[in-house]
Amino acid sequence: MAGSKTSDRVFGALTIVVALAYIASATQIKTAFFSDPLGPRWFPYIIGAVAALAGFSLVIRPDEGEKWPGLFIFIKIAFACAILVVYALTLRRMGFLIPTAFAAGLLSYQIEPRKLQAFLTGIGLSGGLFVIFKYALGLGLFALPKGWIG
Amino acid sequence: METFALLGQGFSVALTPENLMLAVFGCILGTIIGALPGLGPSNGVAILIPLAFSLGLDATAALVLMTSVYYGAMYGGRISSILLNIPGDEPALMTTLDGYPMAKAGRAADALVLSGVASFVGALLATFGLILMAPLLSRIAYLFGPAEYFALYLLAFSTLGGLASKNQAKAIIAACIGLAIAMIGLDNSSGMERLTFGTLELIDGVDFLVAIVGLFAVTEVFVFIESSGKQTAIGVKIDKITIPVRDIIRTFGTMLRSTVVGFIAGVLPGAGASLGSFLAYSAEKAISKDKSRFGKGDVRGVAAPEAGNNAAAGGALVPMLTLGVPGSGTTAVLLALLMTLNITPGPLLFEERPEVVWGLIAALLISNVVLLILNVPMVKIFVKILMVPPWVLLPGVTMVSFVGIYSLSGSWFDLLLMIAFGVMGFFLRKLGVPTVPIILGILLGNYMEDALRRAMVISGGEWQYLFSSPIATGLWIAAFAGFVAPLFLRRYIKTPDKVPD
C-alpha cells in the first residue's frame, strides 16, 4: 500500500471534503426565532473552516507516513470488525454466554491463530465474565436466549 | 489552617470502610491495568467508568475508586517497562531506557523497588502540591467569565496540539473532529436539533463514553491484531526483593527535582504525564556531570521518569478540578466520569461540594500509601500478572467494554458507534493523528461554544470582547505561544516517539 507522503495528502484532502460537507449541513440548522447574536450555526462553521485549513496545510506539507500493513492484515481487521458488529447485534437477543464465547474465541484466534487455545479462551472468558458481571457487579444480564428459559 | 480543617473533613469521608475498601481495590486494579501492556491509564479508566456507574456508587465513592485506579496505573506502568522493555502505558516509555538495562544486568528487583519509591515520592509531593495550589487557582477561577473560559479551552487544545504531537495540523484536525461531534444533538440555547440527519438515536448527541471506549479500547484490539506475534520480548526473572537503600539515598535529589518538573508539566492544561516523565528524564540527564551511564541502567534514569510521571499525574488534577480543563488524556477521562456523575468541575466545586474535593484528595493520599505497599514488598504478585497473554487479555478487554457500554444505554446503536470509533481510531493512529484532542473536543465542545455564545450575548456581538480582560488576553497569548513555540523548539527537543497520553 501507499506509504510515504501520499497518505497524509489523501487524509488532508479527505479532511477538506468532510469539513466542507460539515459546513454545508450546518447551513441547514434551523434557528430559533429569538436567537443570540451568534446563533447555533456559527460555531460549526468555524470548526469546519479551521479543519479545512488544517487539511489544506497537510496537503501542501505532508509528513513522511508510517508504512501501511499488507492486504492480509486489513482482511483480518475487517473480519474482527464484522465479529464485533455481529456481537453487538446479538448480545441482546441471544443472551450473554453464547455470543460472548463466539466473539471472544474468534478474536483470540485473530490475535494468535491456535484453535484449541482460542476455543478455551472463548469459553473461559464468557463464563468468567458472566459470573463477575452478574454476581459481583449485579448487572442485569441474561445468560441464554430468552426463548430457551421460557 | 483552613486547608487542614478541610483535609480533616476529607479524611473523615475517605476513611469510611466502604471507601477505604474501594481505594485498596482500585489501587490493585490500577496497578494491574498499568502493568499490562496495551492497557494504560486512559483506556483502563475508560472501560471501568460504565461499570462503576452501573454499580450505583455515589459520587465520592466512584471518584475514590477511579482516582485510585488512575494513580495505580501510573505506578504499574513501570513494571513491564523494566521487565519486558515494553512500556505498560505511554508515560512509562522513558522508564524502559534505563530500567530494562538495569534488569538485564541482574538488578530487576532493585529497579522495581527504586522506581516504586520514586513513584511514591512524586505522587505524594504532587498531591501536596494539589492541596496547596487547587484552592488558590479556584479563587482565581472566580474571575473567569465566558471570554476567559473560551480562551482557556483554546489554551488546552493548543498546548495539547503544540507540545504533545508531532504535527500541528494533525492535532488541529483531531480537535475539530471532537468539536464537530460535540455539536451533534440538541442545541443548548435554542433547543433545536443540529446535525442529527433525522436520526432518532443522535438527538441526545454522541455519548462521550462511547467515543472514549471506542477510541481507546476497541482501537487497541485492532492494533494488536496488526502487530500479532511481533511482540516477543524476553522477560527477565527477578530474585529476592531487597531495598537498595544506597541507591534510594543517592537518587533522592533526582526524585525531588523530577517531581517539580513533572508537576509543572502536569498542571499545564493538555500536557500530561508522558511529557512529565520525558522532561524529568531529559532535565536530569542535562544537569548530570557524568552522562555516559544514562541508557545503560543508570539508577537516576529509573528514578527520574517515574517521579516525573507520577508527579504529573497529580498535577494534571489541578486544572481538571479547578477549571474543568483536563491536563492529560486520562484526566479527560476522569472529567468524563465527573460529568457522568453530574458534578461540574470548576471553582464552585470547592464551595458547593467540599466533601467531594477533599474526600478525593484524602483518598489520593491514602492510595499512595497503599500503592507503596503494593508496589514494593508485594511487587512479585504483579509480575505474575504480566504472564497474561494478549490473546486472552484483548478479547477480555473488548467484552468488558461492550458490556459496560451496553449496560449504560442498552442500545445496539451505541455499540455500533463504539466499533466505528474503534475503526476510526485505528486509521488515525496509523496516520499519526493524536486521539486525545478528539476526546477533549467531545467533552469540551458544548462548553466552549456556550462560552463563546454567552460572551457574544454580553457584548452584543462585539468580538473584541474576547480579548477585553487582562486574563483573557494573557490566555490567548499563552495559547498562541504554546502552539507556535514547539515549531521552533522542535529542532532542539525531540518528543518521545509515541503519542503522549
Rounded to whole angstroms, how far apart are CA atoms A82 and A97?
19
Residues 6+ apart with CB under 8 A from A30: B192, B193
What's the one-letter identity of residue B491?
A: R
Backbone angles phi, psi at B144, to 5 degrees: -85, 125
| Domain membership flag for residue A93 | yes
Residue of higher predicted confidence among B188 and A26:
A26
Instruction: Annotate B157-221 with DSSP letters as a single string.
Output: HHHHHHHH-S-HHHHHHHHHHHHHHHTSEE-TTT--EES-TT-GGGTT---HHHHHHIIIIIHHH
Q: Are residues A75 and A131 in the same domain?
A: yes
Region at B281 (left for phi over 0; alpha for psi -120 to 50; beta for the rest): alpha
Judged by CB atoms closer than 8 Å, whether chains meet at A68 and B430 is answered as yes
| Domain membership flag for residue A41 | yes
Number of domains in chain B: 1
| Domain membership flag for residue B496 | no
> Which of A20, A43, A45, A117 to probe the B interface (max B CBs under 10 A)?
A43
Q: Are residues A56 and A76 in the same domain?
A: no
Q: Are residues A53 and A76 in the same domain?
A: no
Instruction: Annotate B348-405 with DSSP letters as a single string.
Output: HHHHH-HHHHHHHHHHHHHHHHHHHHHHTTTHHHHHHHTTS-HHHHHHHHHHHHHHHH
Supply the pTM of this predicted model: 0.87
Q: Are residues A142 and A101 in the same domain?
A: yes
Rounded to whole angstroms, how far apart are CA atoms B154 and B324?
13
> Which of B173, B400, B419, B438 to probe the A interface (max A CBs under 10 A)?
B173
Judged by CB atoms closer than 8 Å, whether chains meet at A103 and B399 is answered as yes
Of all residues in chain B, the one with the smallest CA distance to A85 is B416
Question: Which chain B residues are Cβ-neighbours of A39 within 8 angstroms?
Answer: 190
How much is the average pLDDT of B184-195?
A: 81
How much is the average pLDDT of B55-80?
A: 86
What's the one-letter identity of residue B378?
A: M
Tell whether B195 is within 8 A of chain A (Cβ). yes
| Domain membership flag for residue B501 | no
Q: Are residues A138 and A90 in the same domain?
A: yes
Grid cell digits, residue B335: 472529567
Name the residue facing A88 among B407, B416, B449 (closest C-beta). Answer: B416
Half-sphere exposure of B342 (CA within 13 A, CB side): 2
| pLDDT of B229 over the 60 cut | no
Q: Is B133 helix (H, G, I), strand (E, B) or coil?
A: helix
**Helix (H) or strand (E) run with residue B94 in it:** none
Residue of higher predicted confidence among B198 and A48:
A48
Instruction: Calculate the alpha carbon distances from B370 to B308, B316, B365 in Å.
Output: 20, 21, 9
Domain encompassing residue B473: 2-231+241-489
Pair B26, B35: CB distance under 8 Å: no
| Domain membership flag for residue A36 | yes
pLDDT tens readout for residues B441-474: 998 899 999 999 999 999 988 888 999 899 999 9
Tell whether B252 is within 8 A of chain A (Cβ). no
What's the one-letter identity of residue B89?
A: D
| pLDDT of B165 over the 70 cut | no
Residues 6+ apart with CB under 8 A from B177: A51, B438, B441
Half-sphere exposure of A135 (CA within 13 A, CB side): 7
Judged by CB atoms closer than 8 Å, whether chains meet at A84 and B218 is answered as yes
| Domain membership flag for residue B499 | no
Give how far the C-alpha of residue B497 lies from the chain's centroid of Cα atoms, to the nearest Å: 18
Pair B475, B371: CB distance under 8 Å: no
| Domain membership flag for residue A143 | yes
Q: Are residues A53 and A83 in the same domain?
A: no
pLDDT tens readout for residues B482-492: 888 777 766 55
Nearest CA-CA distance, residue A54 and chain B, Å: 5
| Domain membership flag for residue B494 | no
| Domain membership flag for residue B55 | yes
Domain encompassing residue A23: 6-60
Q: Which residues of B49-85 are buried (b: 16+ CB within 10 A; e: fewer)?
A: bbbbbbbebebbbbbbbbbbbbbbbbbbbbbbbbbbb
| pLDDT of B234 over the 70 cut | no
Q: Are residues A136 and A85 in the same domain?
A: yes
pLDDT tens readout for residues B4-44: 888 888 888 888 888 889 989 999 999 988 888 767 788 78
Candidate from B18-22, B108-112, B265-269 with smallest mean pLDDT: B265-269
Task: Residue window 96-125, chain A: list those with CB within 8 Å of chain B.
Answer: 96, 100, 103-105, 107-108, 110-112, 114, 117-118, 121-122, 124-125
Judged by CB atoms closer than 8 Å, whether chains meet at B189 and A100 is answered as no
Residue given cell 479527505 in the structure block: A14
| Domain membership flag for residue A79 | yes
Rounded to whole angstroms, how far apart are CA atoms B88 and B327?
21
| Domain membership flag for residue A131 | yes
Q: Are residues A11 and A80 in the same domain?
A: no
Tell whether A73 is within 8 A of chain B (Cβ). yes
Judged by CB atoms closer than 8 Å, whether chains meet at B457 and A36 is answered as yes
Grid cell digits, residue A41: 450555526
Nearest 10 degrees: Cα torsion A26, A28, A34, A35: 10
Q: What does the pLDDT read at residue A116?
A: 92
Q: If you ran DSSP here, which 8-state letter would residue A69 be given?
A: P
Residue of higher predicted confidence among B156 and B239:
B156
pLDDT tens readout for residues B349-379: 888 888 888 888 898 999 999 999 988 888 8
Judged by CB atoms closer than 8 Å, whether chains meet at A89 and B412 is answered as yes
Q: What does the pLDDT read at residue A99?
A: 93
Gyration radius (Cα) of chain A, Å = 24
| pLDDT of A147 over the 80 cut | no
Grid cell digits, residue B305: 521518569
Residue of higher predicted confidence among B387 and B465:
B465
Instruction: Tell me which residue of B64, B184, B66, B240 sits closest to B441, measured CA to CA.
Output: B184
Rounded to whole angstroms, how far apart are CA atoms B206 and B219?
18
Q: Are residues A82 and A123 in the same domain?
A: yes
Judged by CB atoms closer than 8 Å, whether chains meet at A88 and B412 is answered as yes
> Which of B232, B403, B406 to probe the A interface (max A CBs under 10 A)?
B403
Q: Are residues A52 and A75 in the same domain?
A: no
Q: Are residues A80 and A143 in the same domain?
A: yes
Judged by CB atoms closer than 8 Å, whether chains meet at B461 and A48 is answered as no
| Domain membership flag for residue B500 | no
Q: Are residues A76 and A145 in the same domain?
A: yes
Number of domains in chain A: 2
| pLDDT of A25 over the 70 cut | yes
| Domain membership flag for residue B277 | yes
Q: If you ran DSSP here, which 8-state letter would residue B435 be given?
A: S
pLDDT over 90 percentage in chain B: 24
Residues 6+ apart with CB under 8 A from B242: B109, B110, B113
Structure ipTM: 0.92
Q: What does the pLDDT read at residue B326?
A: 83
Q: What does the pLDDT read at residue A86?
A: 94
